[in-house]
Structure 1
């Protein structure tokens, strides 16, 4: 299991949707989305003071079924960005003067278990 060590500050989680949280293209292949193993538990472990932003290449025509699925599965989120390009997602952020690294990127294998945990380090 990959483990992130985070500061006690509030965080912004930017998560791809298909292949990370739900089965990739499951809404097209199966006619319905399905959560990947560990995804609901991982998302529920994110503190409520943190922001959750989903990115997806899905077009706006799938907004309703996507949001309905999230609500039916009690998945908390703050924003969903639809129509994201298929290419790489690039995060650029500035570090704190204290040296705290403010940009973190995690890549996972498509449709695999959400095998990520995090802990807080009050010393950061």
Structure 2
């Protein structure tokens, strides 16, 4: 992607999709197992510990235990994971601080390609 996003030094809430973003899309169905996308683990590990990570997935509860075990075994840190999410667009709506800081950022990547922008924090 080659993009850089400049963020404040405030704690963040990261909302990450699972299939096609962190792991191969439907790999758990096609291959019988999940496969992390290249660079996904390292990127998640680079998120500061004080930030909150929410993973969203359309997977049903049938795959909950398998998915959580996979994430734990592969060292993918998260604070909360929500299953049974709709398959449509994910819409984030937030305010802008009086200082001008936009409080929502959206990044779209190609399916099964982990190509996140570089994150820089205002110092």
TM-score above 0.5, yes or no: yes
Question: For residue 55 of structure 2, what is the aligned residue in structure 1?
Answer: 54
Check conservation: 1:42, 1:114, Cα contact below 8 A: no
- Size of the alignment, in residue pairs? 122
Which residues of structure 2 form unaligned runs of 5+?
A: none
Question: For residue 65 of structure 2, what is the aligned residue in structure 1?
Answer: 64
**Deviations 1:56-79 (CA, angstroms, capped at 9, x unpaired):** 000011110010001000111000
Cα RMSD, aligned residues only: 0.8
Q: CA deviation at 1:26?
A: 0.3
Question: For residue 10 of structure 1, what is the aligned residue in structure 2?
Answer: 11
Question: For residue 92 of structure 1, what is the aligned residue in structure 2?
Answer: 93
TM-score by length of 1: 0.95
Which residues of structure 1 form unaligned runs of 5+?
A: none
Following the alignment from structure 1 to structure 2, what is the Cα–Cα distance between the partners of residues 17 and 58? 9
Question: For residue 74 of structure 2, what is the aligned residue in structure 1?
Answer: 73
Q: CA deviation at 1:119?
A: 1.0
Following the alignment from structure 2 to structure 1, what is the Cα–Cα distance between the partners of residues 74 and 115? 16
Q: CA deviation at 1:3?
A: 1.8
Following the alignment from structure 1 to structure 2, what is the Cα–Cα distance between the partners of residues 28 and 10? 35
What secondary structure, in the 3-state scheme, does the structure 1 residue paired with 2:96 have? coil
Question: For residue 106 of structure 1, what is the aligned residue in structure 2?
Answer: 107
Check conservation: 2:59, 2:83, Cα contact below 8 A: yes
